[in-house]
Amino acid sequence: MFMDNFADERDQKQLEQDRYTFFVLRRILGGNCKLLLTDHARLILCLSDDVHPVWIWTPDDATEAEMEKAYRLASGHALLDGACRFNLKNGLAAFFIKRAAAEGKKLSVSMNMLAYDCPAPVEPELAADGAIHRCGPADLDELVDFIELFQKETGIDQNDRAGYRKDAEAFIRAGNTFFWENAQGRHTASCKFSPNGNMAAINLVFTRPEFRRKHYAQNLVYQVTKLARGAGYIPMLYTDADYAASNACYEKIGYVLRGRLCTIGEAEQ
């Protein structure tokens, strides 16, 4: 079961067929990965660090033998000890859950995700009071608060406050993170875009609970999407498939469904 521990243009070529659903994997392959295994053709397994999920890519026509290979690699590197989550295609997820059950391990789907892109932003039907505000050094502490609230609410990729502060500093340096500032000068919602190649992921979409149902996030995402398009990128985002109302809001401002994947992890007892 020989696998290389480096990625090259062959891997990027394979991922092009899943450019939306595996956008994040394409980005992290260019960085320092804690674990990277690839045959450059049919299987890529990547763990960026202990906080983030393991990404496993296989083609749509992956055979049972190839799925078994992926499972054995994950097991052989102690990734199935209950501490890790996995982002993968639904078919491979079903195989992992069944295969783990045969060994007395319980895995389950924790999130079904949808991948969207936005070929042409559509202005929201309902405008929100206020305007977009680009985050700068003076916004650092508040941005840390937003990141912490976002991570706690979503329950994914959680870190300590020092880690969130490090992230916030990097976001501000990049210049692609924004608040929606309402008519009273309060920062009500957050959003950012992260470029990779010719695409940009829209993320950190969060509205403080006391300001929800006022269309702040929808208007902010629309404005950030326009900025990403204006900078020459194709905006894309991931959503929780179970949040129908939220997904409908994205679709209303021009986002189009392009793919599906899921997150699995140790089942709650």
Burial profile 140-167: b = 16 or more Cβ within 10 angstroms, e = fewer = eeebbbbbbbbbeeeeeeebeeebbbeb
pTM of structure: 0.87
Q: Where in the chain is the domain with CATH 3.40.630.30?
A: 131-253
In terms of DSSP H, where are the helices of 124-256?
Answer: 140-154, 161-174, 216-230, 244-252
Angle at 255 between CA 203 and CA 24, to 5 degrees: 40
CATH architecture classification, 131-253: 3-Layer(aba) Sandwich (3.40)
CA 263 to chain centre: 11
pLDDT band at 159 (very low <50, low <70, confident <90, very high): confident
Q: How many CB atoms lie within 10 A of CB 220?
A: 27
Q: What is the CA radius of gyration of the chain?
A: 19
Q: How many CB atoms lie within 10 A of CB 248?
A: 9
Residues 138-152: pLDDT tens digits?
999 999 999 999 999
Residue 235 predicted with pLDDT over 80 = yes
In terms of DSSP H, where are the helices of 155-266?
Answer: 161-174, 216-230, 244-252
N residues, the chain: 269
Residue 202 predicted with pLDDT over 60 = yes
pLDDT band at 62 (very low <50, low <70, confident <90, very high): very high
pLDDT at 154: 83
Q: Can you point out the beta strands (E) in 102-217?
A: 107-117, 131-134, 177-181, 187-196, 199-207
Residue 245 predicted with pLDDT over 90 = no
C-alpha–C-alpha distance, residues 265 and 60, integer Å? 21
pLDDT band at 237 (very low <50, low <70, confident <90, very high): very high
Burial profile 75-99: b = 16 or more Cβ within 10 angstroms, e = fewer = beeebbeeebbbbbbeebbebbbeb
The span from the first CA to the last CA of the chain, in angstroms, equals 34
**Among 52, 50, 44, which Cα is nearest to 8's?**
44
